Structure 1
Amino acid sequence: MRAQLAAFSAGGIGDAVRAVSPGLIACAVVGAASAFLSDHYGGPVMLFALLLGMAMNFLSADGACRAGIEFAARQVLRVGIALLGLRITGAQVVALGWEPAALVVGGVAATIAVSVLAARVLGFDARFGLLTGGATAICGASAALALSAALSPHPLKERATLFTVIGVSALSTLAMVLYPVLTGWLGLSDAQAGLFLGATIHDVAQVVGAGYSISTPAGDAATLVKLMRVATLLPVIVLVALGSRAGAAQGERPPLLPGFALGFALLVAINSFGWIPSAAQVAGSELSRWCLLAAIAGIGMKTHLRELVTVGWRPVLLMLGETLFLAGLVLVYLRATS
């Protein structure tokens, strides 16, 4: 990556573009194929991008595509995360009132804290618990990618990120199917069901699908609560970046505030003032989606399936436990306030 930046600074923009183009095109093709499969056959698009990328991992070996795949997995990823800020405004958060806000903040904090402790008990590095807990508590695969980008370098970070994205996507899809049935079985109102779905299901798309499968009011409430969870991504990233900076050696400390987090905050602020036209919001959100798809395809291309097979049952148990903990926490809140 330093070599690529040096090429840009030296005026070799054309050379740098040619160096990354084959890999970027490969990632874009995998992303497009994943979107097609998701649109026509259902299923989480991020999971499709991961699996198709892993099937093409031979492209990440030394060759024409390697530089572009690295670029997609790092730089394109950060652009996609920053553009997530176009999804939310301060008014949306305020409209929900303080009680759902307190539930969201408390749920995110408690889930991450429990995840870190559980990871330690199961013999993992605390950063793995932070990664899986943040993905479960905030916004699924997008949060996993954002937190991974903010964490300090580690030899197993990409493997942990890939496993987290696969696990959280699978659990989110399962929750989308089962949770609406659970809300009916428990006799929750539309407002309560929307709050439960928005506060517990991992990915935004699955929240929307589950909420509107019950009713329009439930879907609206679920979407707003979910967007509030997405809004917690910024403070969590800042705290993670501060922790990574404090734990790193003097010469390798990451920036105090990652550039993608700053871009995320800036877009949320601008969007909150209504300065971004609706057409630009839609276009930016779609661009964010494609950037994240290309990035996760690149991460998949860099990973071999046999590396995931060796993880064992403990990571699966950790992520399942995090999901059940968050769902139980929200149900206790609903019972206490009903």
Structure 2
Amino acid sequence: MRFTDFLRANGQGFFVAAVVAAAAQFLSEHYGAPAMLMALLLGIAFNFLAEDGVCKPGIEFTARTVLRIGVALLGARISVELMIELGPHLIAVVVGGGVLTILFGLLCARVLGRGWRFGLLTGGSVAICGASAAMAISAVLPKNEHSERNLIFTVLSVTVLSTLAMIAYPVLTEVFEFSDETSGVFLGGTIHDVAQVVGAGFSVSEETGDVATLVKLIRVAMLAPVVLIISVAVRRYGQAETESKRPPILPMFVVGFLIFATLNSLGLIPMIAVDAMSELSRWALLVSIAAVGMKTSLKRILEVGGQAIGLIVAETVFIAAFVLIGVALLGH
């Protein structure tokens, strides 16, 4: 397809999603609302544009391809140096909390009869990096009639829970009289979204903010291996449940994530480029979540039910308790 034809087919849908994302960013900057949450809610309000008409192909492209670009660019924020700074014991707590939260989500979803897809989606989003992880994991899961509804529910839930945690968790660090380092590990190891981790951390102190951001980026680094494992498992065991074509062993956006993380670890990406790629990634994810919102109606989200809300709250409590106990046992 020629570029002009591609632009004609997808440009209008992408432009609408970009305008919604810009409006969400404006609300975030001027009224303190989470940008991801605003993009999602505003997108849902424009659901009619994705049902039919000239915008539909562009909205589909934005929700799928722009999302993958945003996740790939996240890799530029990761480096081996980050891991070394935190130390092996705290890394073990952070990574262990993430892995066990995913397994906890799978187990609870099975008990509640919600299906393994939903358990992976919610558990992975809570364990890793909130909305970004939810969208990345959703991209490699086999699709069914509930896929988009479950994704929207998960993004909405983790964003709201992150915002509540950003307000409540710093208070907990004062109640428990944590040191700045311990507070940073707790906040970075438990709050779902990066922006809320930064907000919570720096509301305590500068050192807490630095440590919290570092811990959170280590959780973000788990995104590539988790998506890879899910992709391989789906390719091997998930075919009986879906008629879609076999997914690639290593999705291209995960390859991109790993390449950028490797280049950054080797010091081959200048800091100015890292900052630019991080900002581009943020905008790509913001625009894509607006498009995902457009593809889902509010009525379908409400069909998820109270069990699903209970599941994602339970996962949030689980990872918070695990990290809190782990830090206490290490004597930090």
Question: Into which bin does the TM-score normalised by the smaller protein fall?
Answer: over 0.9
What is the CA deviation profile of residues 123-160 of structure 1, one whole-angstrom value per residue up to 9, with x for unaligned ones?
10111011001000100000001100111222211111
Q: Aligned residue for 2:117?
A: 127
Does the Cα contact within 8 Å between 2:101 and 2:318 map onto a contact in 1?
A: yes
Instruction: Report 1:165-314 matches (<5 A).
Output: 165-246=155-236, 247-248=238-239, 252-314=245-307
Equivalent-residue separation in structure 2 for 1:319 and 1:187 (angstroms): 28
User: 2:250 aligns to what SS in structure 1?
Assistant: coil
CA, structure 1 residues 185+20, in 2 after alignment: closer, same or farther (shift >3 Å)?
same
Equivalent-residue separation in structure 1 for 2:66 and 2:248 (angstroms): 18
TM-score (structure 2 length as normaliser): 0.97
Does the Cα contact within 8 Å between 2:93 and 2:327 map onto a contact in 1?
A: no
Instruction: Report 1:60-99 matches (<5 A).
Output: 60-99=50-89
Does the Cα contact within 8 Å between 1:152 and 1:245 map onto a contact in 2?
A: no
In structure 1, runs of 5+ residues without a counterpart are 1-7
Does the Cα contact within 8 Å between 2:129 and 2:220 map onto a contact in 1?
A: yes
User: Alignment RMSD, CA only?
Assistant: 1.1
Q: Aligned residue for 1:44?
A: 34
Match of 1:322 among 283, 305, 315: 315
| CA apart distance, 1:13 | 2.8
Equivalent-residue separation in structure 2 for 1:178 and 1:42 (angstroms): 16
User: 2:143 aligns to what SS in structure 1?
Assistant: coil
Equivalent-residue separation in structure 1 for 2:159 and 2:265 (angstroms): 29
TM-score (structure 1 length as normaliser): 0.95
Q: Does 1:33 align with 2:23?
A: yes
Equivalent-residue separation in structure 2 for 1:335 and 1:103 (angstroms): 11
Equivalent-residue separation in structure 2 for 1:173 and 1:64 (angstroms): 35
Does the Cα contact within 8 Å between 2:121 and 2:151 map onto a contact in 1?
A: yes
Q: Counterpart of 2:304 in structure 1: which amino acid? A: V
Equivalent-residue separation in structure 1 for 2:5 and 2:204 (angstroms): 53
Q: Does 1:24 align with 2:24?
A: no
Does the Cα contact within 8 Å between 1:34 and 1:48 map onto a contact in 2?
A: yes
User: 2:72 aligns to what SS in structure 1?
Assistant: helix
- 275-284 or 46-55, which deviates more: 275-284
Does the Cα contact within 8 Å between 2:105 and 2:120 map onto a contact in 1?
A: yes
Equivalent-residue separation in structure 2 for 1:127 and 1:104 (angstroms): 23
What is the CA deviation profile of residues 223-275 of structure 1, one whole-angstrom value per residue up to 9, with x for unaligned ones?
11111101111110000000111122697210000000000000000011111
Equivalent-residue separation in structure 2 for 1:203 and 1:251 (angstroms): 31
Does the Cα contact within 8 Å between 2:150 and 2:304 map onto a contact in 1?
A: no
Does the Cα contact within 8 Å between 2:189 and 2:219 map onto a contact in 1?
A: yes
| CA apart distance, 1:283 | 1.2
Does the Cα contact within 8 Å between 1:200 and 1:327 map onto a contact in 2?
A: yes
Does the Cα contact within 8 Å between 2:39 and 2:290 map onto a contact in 1?
A: yes
Does the Cα contact within 8 Å between 1:34 and 1:49 map onto a contact in 2?
A: yes
User: 1:252 aligns to what SS in structure 2?
Assistant: coil
Q: Aligned residue for 1:56?
A: 46
Instruction: Report % sequence identity.
Output: 53
CA, structure 1 residues 251+335, in 2 after alignment: closer, same or farther (shift >3 Å)?
closer
User: 2:157 aligns to what SS in structure 1?
Assistant: helix
User: 2:7 aligns to what SS in structure 1?
Assistant: helix
Does the Cα contact within 8 Å between 2:44 and 2:298 map onto a contact in 1?
A: yes
Does the Cα contact within 8 Å between 2:90 and 2:327 map onto a contact in 1?
A: no
In structure 2, runs of 5+ residues without a counterpart are none
